[in-house]
């Protein structure tokens, strides 16, 4: 049986969320925009979901826009705010370690005359508020800094960032809280952001459901036309079942947050200690200001993709980093921004724990991880030793015209 340590990629749908969804997948199937009884009952379910998500975030129901996930929420926030503010300025400021749904979106906007400034991070992946301050000017219309990183778990100093942004009148502040929402307390008045994105499947809700908090009074140019849904901010027939499941999952995640974060934080510490951190296996991310469930490493000299495949065969589900680039040869832009060389970044490994992770799994996984790294290193050493012989054989074959195969 597989030990699942990839909760940062996605989490299992919890039973309570499924139960909240089932009525709207069966007998309460009405369109929430319809005026008849089935439609009104669907509308009531959607309204309740708005209330639950808003309550969990310290917002009002009218400030919540349901989307198809975190990527759409980030796109709506970035593009909507950029186009709405184009008459005032054209500069957008982000960090170098943003999720691709932010980074790729701002690069797309560059084609239309927007200026993008990426603020560097330190070796731990943290933004220096002073560096961000230097990137701001009177032409800045939007700042987007993720609350916590999805690859290394580093938590950003959002209070200090918000304080710097507020020195410039009219500049909007967005944060991608997709990874942070289950584990960090979110009080939107205290956080002082204008826009915040979350995704249900990161806290045991359904895939395909997300939400964007839009502070009352924030000007946002709608990106999807065709209907009056979500107060004219996101056209399209609402996924009532997805919203209901998301609302219930977030409600429970917030209620259980203190217990969950304390428990998985201890498990993560135990995992990192068992794996060991030295010159051969290096921890990535901030040592203390990080999400409780993410244990991230680089293993210099080894290939992270090969390691995750070997771990999968051994019975441990892990990743090299963001699930959005898994299977590609792309080196993590997060680790590159943090100053890791390419040969180090290629050895990235991420283990992410969740509410359902238990101590026995972590103990078993740690043993398998240590053995797998040792086996892969031994294989790499043997291959390196064999390379001169293979090269010599190939050279000799080329001289004599005989195929080495």
User: Residues 184-204: what's their mean pLDDT?
Assistant: 96
Q: Is 299 left (phi over 0), alpha (psi -120 to 50) or beta?
A: beta
Selected residue with higher pLDDT from 391 and 116: 116
The strand ranges marked E within 252-384 are 282-283, 294-298, 316-317, 348-352
User: Is 224 found in the same domain as 310?
Assistant: no
Q: Is the pLDDT of residue 299 over 90?
A: yes
CATH number of the domain within which 117 lies: 3.40.640.10
User: Is 251 found in the same domain as 270?
Assistant: no
User: Residues 43-62: what's their mean pLDDT?
Assistant: 98
241, part of any domain: yes
Of 255, 289, 324, the residue at which a domain comes to its end is 255
Question: What is the residue range of 215's domain?
Answer: 15-255
How far apart are alpha carbons 307 and 374 in whole angstroms? 10
392, part of any domain: no
7, part of any domain: no
Q: Report how many domains make up the chain.
A: 2
User: Is 240 found in the same domain as 278?
Assistant: no
CATH number of the domain within which 349 lies: 3.90.1150.10
181, part of any domain: yes
- pLDDT score, position 402: 54
User: Is 316 found in the same domain as 247?
Assistant: no
Q: Which residue has the tokens 């009148």?
A: 169
User: Residues 154-170: what's their mean pLDDT?
Assistant: 96
- pLDDT score, position 322: 64
- pLDDT score, position 393: 57
123, part of any domain: yes
Q: Which residues are catalytic?
A: 324
User: Is 87 found in the same domain as 202?
Assistant: yes
Of 203, 238, 255, the residue at which a domain comes to its end is 255
User: Is 194 found in the same domain as 127?
Assistant: yes
User: Is 293 found in the same domain as 326?
Assistant: yes
pTM, entire model: 0.93
User: Shortest CA distance to 351 belongs to which of 269, 259, 262?
Assistant: 269
The sign of the CA dihedral 95, 150, 64, 259 is: negative
Q: Mean pLDDT score of the chain, rounded to an integer?
A: 93
Cβ atoms of residues 161 and 196 within 8 Å = no
- pLDDT score, position 394: 62
Characterize 222-237 residue by residue with b for buried, 16 or more Cβ atoms within 10 angstroms of its Cβ, and e for exposed: bbbeeeebbeebbeee
183, part of any domain: yes
What contacts 235, CB < 8 A, 6 or more positions away? Answer: 222, 224, 225, 226, 227, 228, 229
Least confident of 250-254, 293-297, 363-367, 385-389: 385-389
Q: Is the pLDDT of residue 301 over 50?
A: yes
User: Is 263 found in the same domain as 251?
Assistant: no
pLDDT in tens, 207-234: 999 999 999 999 999 999 999 999 999 9
User: Is 333 found in the same domain as 227?
Assistant: no
178, part of any domain: yes
- pLDDT score, position 382: 79
67, part of any domain: yes
User: Is 33 found in the same domain as 159?
Assistant: yes
Selected residue with higher pLDDT from 266 and 397: 266
pLDDT in tens, 109-132: 999 999 999 999 999 999 999 999
User: Is 124 found in the same domain as 25?
Assistant: yes
Q: Is the pLDDT of residue 397 over 70?
A: no
User: Is 246 found in the same domain as 263?
Assistant: no
- Percent of the chain scoring above 70 in pLDDT: 92
Rg value, the chain, Cα:
23
User: Residues 164-184: what's their mean pLDDT?
Assistant: 97
């Amino acid at each position: 049986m597989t030990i699942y340590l990839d909760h940062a990629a996605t989490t299992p749908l919890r039973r309570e969320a499924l139960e909240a969804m089932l009525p709207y997948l069966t007998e309460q199937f009405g369109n929430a925009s319809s005026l008849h009884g089935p439609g009104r009952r669907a509308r009531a379910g959607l309204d309740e979901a708005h209330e639950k998500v808003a309550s969990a975030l310290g917002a009002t129901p009218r400030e919540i826009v349901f989307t198809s996930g975190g990527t759409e929420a980030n796109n709506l926030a970035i593009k909507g705010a950029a186009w709405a503010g184009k008459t005032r300025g054209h500069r957008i400021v982000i960090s170098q370690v943003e999720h691709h749904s932010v980074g790729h979106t701002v690069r797309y906007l560059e084609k239309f005359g927007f200026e993008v400034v990426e603020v560097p991070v330190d070796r731990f992946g943290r933004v220096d508020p002073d560096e961000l301050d230097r990137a701001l000017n009177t032409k800045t219309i939007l700042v987007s800094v993720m609350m916590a990183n999805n690859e290394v778990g580093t938590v950003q100093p959002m209070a200090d960032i918000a304080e710097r942004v507020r020195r410039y009148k009219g500049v909007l502040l967005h944060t991608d809280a997709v990874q942070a929402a289950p584990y960090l307390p979110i009080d939107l008045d205290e956080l002082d952001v204008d826009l915040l994105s979350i995704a249900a499947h990161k806290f045991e809700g359904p895939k395909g459901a997300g939400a964007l908090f839009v502070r009352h009074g924030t000007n946002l140019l709608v990106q999807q036309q065709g209907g009056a849904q979500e107060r004219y901010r996101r056209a399209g027939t609402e996924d009532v079942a997805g919203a209901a499941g998301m609302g219930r999952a977030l409600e429970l995640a917030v209620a259980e947050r203190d217990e969950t974060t304390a428990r998985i934080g201890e498990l993560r510490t135990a995992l990192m200690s068992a794996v060991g951190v030295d010159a051969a296996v290096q921890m990535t991310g901030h040592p203390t200001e990080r999400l409780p469930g993410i244990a991230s490493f680089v293993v210099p000299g080894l290939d992270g993709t090969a390691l995750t495949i070997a771990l999968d065969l051994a019975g441990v589900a892990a990743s090299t980093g963001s699930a959005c680039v898994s299977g590609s040869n792309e080196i993590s832009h997060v680790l590159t921004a943090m100053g890791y060389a390419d040969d180090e970044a290629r050895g990235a490994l991420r283990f992410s724990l969740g509410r359902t992770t238990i101590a026995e799994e972590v103990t078993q996984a740690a043993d398998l991880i240590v053995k797998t790294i040792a086996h892969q290193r031994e294989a790499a050493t043997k291959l390196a030793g064999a390379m001169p012989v293979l090269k010599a054989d190939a050279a000799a074959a080329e001289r004599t015209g005989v195929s080495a195969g």
